[in-house]
Amino acid sequence: MLGPLFNPRSVLLTGVSPEPGNLARSSLYNLVTFGFKGAIHLLGRKEVELFGHTIRTSWDDIPDGIDVAVILTPARTVAETLDQCGRKGIRYAIVQSAGFTELGGEGEVLAAEVKAVAHRHGIRFTGPNGLGIIHPSHGFAPIFIPLRPQWRFGGVSIATQSGGMGFAYLWTMADQNVGVAKFVSMGNKMDLDEVDYLDYYAKDPETRAVVLYLEGIVRGRALFEALRDCGKPVLVHKAGHTEGGSKMAFSHTAALTADDDVLGAMLRQAGATRVHTMEGVISRSKVVELPPCRGSRVAVISRSGGHAVVAADCAAESGFQLPPFSPEFLAAAAGRQVMRKGNPLDLGDVFDFDLYARLLETAVQDPGFDAVLLLFGYFPPFETEASRRLLPKIHELNDRYGKPVALILLADEHELTEVRRAQPNTYFNSVEEAFAALKVSRDHQVRLQALATATPDAAPAGIDAASARVANAPDGTMPMDEAFRVLSDAGIPTAPSVLVQSVADLSNVPPFPVAAKVASARAVHKSDVGGVQLGIPDRAALEAAVADLAGRFGPFGEGEGVLVQSMAAPGVEAIVGGRQDPVFGPLVVVGLGGVLVEVLKDTAIRLAPVSLASARDMIAELKGAALFRGVRGRAPADVEALARVVHAVSYLVAGCPAMGEIDLNPVLVHPHGATVVDVRIRKDAAQGN
């Protein structure tokens, strides 16, 4: 869909003037400097030659059917300019003008006019308030800041919400010899946004990895789906943290799913890599220069013993293994001053750099390794010539064997600068940087393999009936006994219970011992206000408990009262919940439950629905997962039963938009089975309509 926007055969620049301060003049300069081969048309107020092209003053002189218009005129004129573009058959635009939603007030009105005109003509546009697009291999760079084509063509494509951050990426990538395929500064994202660009990059043959810099996300669910389906490594640098999760919440679930936590969980679930610094993005983007890392077995060859130790630590922290070298490999190093022959290999005082090349090739040929790292430091001027002969051989191995050979180059800054200028290949500046990049590649390959072998997952039986019960309920908090019926419809195990409003209603109670819990909107967190009495042994004690709770929390309205419930067998306390996130849609959470749930905050989050396998993974990633395996003589808890509850809740919240929030806390996980002993459900009319 966006092909003509990045690969136009013709372009129109509006608002062009020969005056030195004219911004559109810089856009023309960049097109000429980058060698754009398509037709360039200029529109301005004064007919004059500029960089070999004539500025026209009338739309009548502009031909029909131009691919892309670049608009850099005052905000109040943009809608009219877009209308003229539409009349000329232009269907793509880069709107660089500012003065719209970022200013509010009149800017909001102007933005609405621009969107209406674009919609009427079927024009897709990037911006406004953005720098635009750069496609180096096409020579297309109508950016209003004069540029030098200093970065080399490569496999990283960038979509950034900030023009300043975008240029920081470009400059630093150029400095680190990371090649760029495509670049877009999205600005206000009034029309096209990161989802559209990610979909385009996913199909773009030039793009091997994607970098997204985001400050705000509107189409969160669509972004998740685009990330999940991309098929290429995606690095996401998200700036800004919201306060939505810190507000007073209806349920524990809401309190435990703060916006930034949901974002992080979504990115992990989609297979993207979240990075918190620009430096982290740059270092990880270097992975596009290497072949895919298809596993976790790494050979490390080092000229420094200290760096070898650091490499062993980094490997363990990143989930890599360091298998022993083969006898054939060690034979190649025999007779040399090798300080340590394990993996990592410490070459110590070996000065034969040709041996380094032979050892690297032997390691990369070994099927027992998925990647090879060389930590190589040298000291100019005496080692310069031999070292520079070695460096291109390392990169040749990548091309020849299709297995990553990562070079960590250590030298003084002057020498590193000279190497970057003389050789277009990239290298890593530290052990940590190299392993971080390999981890991105390894994790992406593992995810692709998992997707290839995944089997479809079916919704649990009874979800439709449970969803219908919620959808047909009155708005607001559901009565507790009705909420338990929702769980029963969905096949989620609960403790037998009955709702009473007074002692007179105690005609048919569950078997003793029982618990008595106040069920009222005035006591959302019952244990905090003394609304729970446990282990009631007989009828007399129950009558006293009901009288006490009714006296303190009554009179009760319809659907309220005291819930009398059978005491469930002991077990590990868990929480399972879900809610409708305003950005990312339905999500599910599982964690350690009980009264301290918001203190411990040991949870795992996913966008819903999730498969049973994903539910198991959620439980396994909890910090307290060992509690389910049994500690201090306790029998292991039934993790599979808890996973089935997570699975069912995820489908329930995903299939019922009317369910604003659902909170199961605690879920008692026994050695055999699990029992929900408390539930809250809120019907959200706005979500359900």
293 near 357, Cβ under 8 Å? no
pLDDT at 250: 44
Mean pLDDT of 526-540: 88
Q: Which helix (H) or strand (E) holds 664?
A: strand 659-669
Which listed CATH number (3.40.50.261, 3.90.1150.10, 3.30.70.270, 3.30.1540.10) goes with 290-453? 3.40.50.261
Q: Are 492 and 645 in contact (CB under 8 A)?
A: yes
d(CA 649, CA 490): 8
Question: Is pLDDT of 351 > 50?
Answer: yes
Q: Is the pLDDT of residue 118 over 80?
A: yes
Q: Give the pLDDT confidence of 190-206 residue by residue, as tens digits.
A: 999 999 999 999 999 99
The residue-averaged pLDDT of 106-120 equals 96
Question: What is the mean pLDDT of the segment spanning 437-462?
Answer: 90
Instruction: Choose among 113, 128, 123, 18: nearest CA to 73.
Output: 128
Could you tell me the pLDDT band of residue 163, with boundaries at 50, 70 and 90? very high
3-state secondary structure of 564: strand
Q: Do domains 150-289 and 572-688 have the same CATH topology?
A: no
Distance CA 47, CA 677 (A): 79
**Measured in whole angstroms, how far is the alpha carbon of residue 553 from the centre of its chain?**
45
Beta strands in 306-386 (DSSP E): 345-346, 371-377
For residues 318 and 332, give the distance between their C-alpha atoms in angstroms, rounded to a whole number. 29
Binning pLDDT at 50, 70 and 90, where does residue 354 land?
confident
255, pLDDT greater than 60:
no
Q: What's the whole-number average pLDDT of the chain?
A: 91
Report, as an integer, the average pLDDT of 596-608.
Answer: 81
Confidence at residue 456, expressed as pLDDT on a 0 to 100 scale = 79
* Band of pLDDT at residue 542, cut at 50, 70 and 90: very high
Residues in CB range of 306: below 8 A, 6 or more apart: none
**Exposure class string for 573-609: b at 16+ Cβ within 10 A, else e:** bbbbbbbbbebbbbbbbbbbbbeebeebebbbbbbbb
User: Which two three-digit tokens encode residue 447?
Assistant: 């995810």
Check if the beta carbon of residue 438 is closer than 8 Å to that of residue 293: yes
Query: Could you give the CA distance from residue 24 to residue 70 in angstroms, rounded to a whole number?
Result: 9
Structure token pair of residue 525: 């967190």
| Type of residue numbered 96 | Q
Confidence band for 563, pLDDT divided at 50, 70 and 90: very high
Q: Return the closest-CA partner of residue 70 out of 46, 47, 41, 48.
A: 41
Q: Is the pLDDT of residue 247 over 50?
A: no
**What is the number of residues in the chain?**
689
**529: confidence class by pLDDT, cuts 50, 70, 90:** confident
* Res. 341 pLDDT band, cuts 50 70 90: confident
Superfamily of domain 496-567: ATP-grasp fold, A domain (3.30.1490.20)
Q: How far is CA 152 from CA 133, 179, 185, 266, 651, in A?
A: 16, 5, 19, 33, 47
* Mean pLDDT, residues 124-140: 95
- The pLDDT tens digits for 415-447 are 998 888 888 788 999 999 999 999 999 999 999
Query: Which stretches of 318-383 are DSSP H helices?
Result: 327-332, 353-365
Preceding amide of 344 cis, omega within 30: yes
Q: Quick one: which of 644, 645, 621, 626 has its CA closest to 636?
A: 626
SS3 631: coil
CA 96 to chain centre: 28
Residue 565, pLDDT > 50, answer yes
Asked whether the predicted pLDDT for residue 402 surpasses 80, the reply is yes
β partners of residue 617: none
Give residue-wise pLDDT tens across range 632-685: 768 899 999 999 999 999 999 999 999 999 999 999 999 999 999 999 999 986
Q: Give the CATH H-level superfamily of domain 1-128.
A: NAD(P)-binding Rossmann-like Domain (3.40.50.720)
Taking the mean position of all CA atoms in its chain, how far away is CA 656? 25
CATH topology for the 150-289 domain: Rossmann fold (3.40.50)
- In whole angstroms, how far apart are CA 354 and each of 180, 402, 422? 32, 21, 20
Residue 105 confidence (pLDDT): 86
The two three-digit tokens of residue 580, written as one number: 């409708």
The topology under which CATH files domain 572-688 is: D-amino Acid Aminotransferase; Chain A, domain 1 (3.30.470)
Which of the given ranges, 7-16, 149-158, 479-488, 502-511, has the highest pLDDT on average?
7-16
Domain boundaries of the chain, sorted by first residue: 1-128, 150-289, 290-453, 496-567, 572-688
pLDDT tens digits, 39-70: 999 999 999 999 999 999 999 999 999 999 99
